[in-house]
Chain A
């Protein structure tokens, strides 16, 4: 299932739960996927499906004490990150795996200058003082921030949203990590800027041969910029495969519904397609397949047991009982 070609990152059956006063919230409940070096994986799904938590789990940055990785493995270059001590994780963060957060205004410290915050990453690599400023300028130039030299002593609130996000991207790539995770990086940006930013991200990815996990709820983004995709629903992955295959031949009913919901130019019916019902409450998940209450093709078996991951055409898998019969 989780595959060959020496994946850079391989997540196996990850479960991350939140222990709250109101009960146990199973935010991520058995997620498996992999990313190969230099490849772009889209992690897509509705709000609240657990994609952000998955990424935070990889970096072991869950809110304490409520969030905990309950079981599973996160293999990065063969090493299981789940069992590593915090001191080792610190060495990996920023250097091997890095992340761009969703809201750039909140992500930058308001009381320190841009120059100061970008320089910090280089300081962690023990770069000599003299070359520090030049490195900062170089990396900010590489993310296409205009008039860098004059802007080193400015503060985050003086930047526009787009520039702030670029700065965060600069911070993320300054130590040349092997894996870059972008958590809904364009959600808080203006629509006009979103496109620019994604193009920049792709450029960086290709230039540095980085693996990229792009977390988003926008399937259009996935189609444009990713090689493979994993669709998440209620804390589990329901389908994965190459972007080509999944978009042309979606296997899982949820994926099919999502594809149907994408408005297309020239479509005849005036009403946009909407999936009936609502995503389940992670503190109170339905028995069997989590999607069955909303699925038109649900069978008796779907209500009883959660479906296994069934390979589809040798390209990824879908967690759906309909394909089990066919395989058998």
Chain B
């Protein structure tokens, strides 16, 4: 078992290294950053100074090495757009994103699992039809459009909720709905499908054969097996959620990492781009690791593989 954990950790590290390479390369795809950032008629000296300041005059492999070395110490350099240390800015924005992200993740999963179970049990009823339709639309509606529609209806027309900014619960409602919509639909679909498979299985039949109450059949025998695919996808869910956050934060002017990422990309502020991507990917890797460990508890077959 120890080997299992160590292997997983090693894989996580490799993944992060891969991410750092990808992001390092992608951010520099635009060619000479200095020429793009500086004003059009900047002289050679200005360009040289710019390059020196951001370490762009070094050969690429050295730049990468410096980047990794500093990143491990938590130093992601200076933001080109803000002219302040990247980490400082990012750290300042993380709480807001965590608030929105957490709330959306929890709401999305709880609601999705609940509706998924209920629609599987009550297959073919109105509830099932409703949930399935919701799931279909939930995955088809673009997050940013939903955000705008919600804003249009509840803020602009009805004036019930504010259009932007961070604050109390009132500010949280619309962004959370817009962000968790996709997660709910996704989790619902996976849970329902998994639950239907499990309910058809032989061991559930045996559980019924023994004379168990329907409650026990579902919550003791079926549920644990049905949730396995859902838990497996936690990392993937997180990645999708953060992607969705980029849009929601932009629409609602929520001061988090998502909107920071969008503006940084448009400004080609690559120290910022690198930092945010690495931090987000690290979170995804960590969640996956956590899930892998959780699996040792949930599914006994893992221990012995």
Contact = CB atoms under 8 A, between A and B. Distances in A.
Question: Do the two shown chains form a genuine complex with each other?
Answer: yes
Interface of A: 59, 61, 63, 65, 90-95, 98-99, 101, 103, 106-113, 120-121, 124, 155, 157-158, 168, 171, 175
16 contacts: A61-B205, A61-B208, A90-B212, A93-B208, A93-B210, A99-B209, A106-B201, A106-B203, A107-B206, A109-B206, A111-B300, A120-B212, A121-B210, A124-B211, A155-B301, A157-B301
B209 A94 contact: yes
Contacts of B221: 109, 112
B203 A158 contact: no
A120 B206 CA distance: 11
Contacts of A106: 201-203
Given A106-B202, A111-B225, A120 B210 contact: yes
Contacts of B202: 101, 103, 106-107
B206 A158 contact: no
Task: Give the residue among A90, A95, A175 with the most B Cβ atoms within 10 A.
Answer: A90
A91 B225 CA distance: 26
Contact of A155 (B123, B225, B300): B300
B59 interface: no
B209 A158 contact: no
A124 B206 contact: no
Nearest to B224: A111
Given A94-B211, A124-B212, A157-B301, 14 more contacts: A59-B209, A61-B205, A65-B123, A91-B211, A93-B209, A94-B209, A109-B206, A109-B221, A110-B225, A111-B225, A120-B210, A121-B211, A158-B304, A171-B210
B208 A108 contact: no
Task: Give the residue among B201, B203, B205, B213 with the most A Cβ atoms within 10 A.
Answer: B203
Nearest to B303: A155
Contacts of B300: 110-111, 113, 155
B205 A94 contact: no
Top 4 closest pairs, chain A to chain B, by CB: A94-B211, A106-B202, A109-B203, A93-B211
A114 B125 CA distance: 36
B299 interface: yes
A63 B210 CA distance: 17
A107 B203 contact: yes
Contacts of A99: 209
Task: Give the residue among A59, A61, A94 with the most B Cβ atoms within 10 A.
Answer: A94
Contacts of A59: 209
Contacts of A90: 211-213
Contact of B203 (A65, A108, A113, A124): A108
A234 to B, nearest CB: 25
Contacts of B201: 106
Nearest to A106: B202
A181 to B, nearest CB: 10
Contacts of A158: 304
Interface in B188-205: 200-203, 205
B207 interface: yes
Contacts of A101: 202, 205-206, 209
Given A109-B225, A111-B300, A94 B203 contact: no
A84 to B, nearest CB: 14
A110 B208 contact: no
Interface in B202-233: 202-203, 205-213, 221, 224-225
A278 to B, nearest CB: 28
B56 interface: no
B124 interface: yes
A61 B210 CA distance: 12
Contacts of A121: 210-211
Contact of A110 (B203, B206, B207, B211): B203
Nearest to A121: B210
Contact of B206 (A65, A95, A108): A108
Interface in B286-305: 298-301, 304
Contacts of B205: 61, 101, 107
A157 B203 CA distance: 13
Task: Give the residue among A111, A113, A121, A158 with the most B Cβ atoms within 10 A.
Answer: A111
Contacts of B203: 106-110
Task: Give the residue among B207, B209, B213, B300 with the most A Cβ atoms within 10 A.
Answer: B209
B47 to A, nearest CB: 63
Contacts of A120: 207, 210, 212
B147 to A, nearest CB: 39
A63 B203 CA distance: 14
Contacts of B209: 59, 61, 93-94, 98-99, 101
Contact of B207 (A63, A65, A109, A175): A109
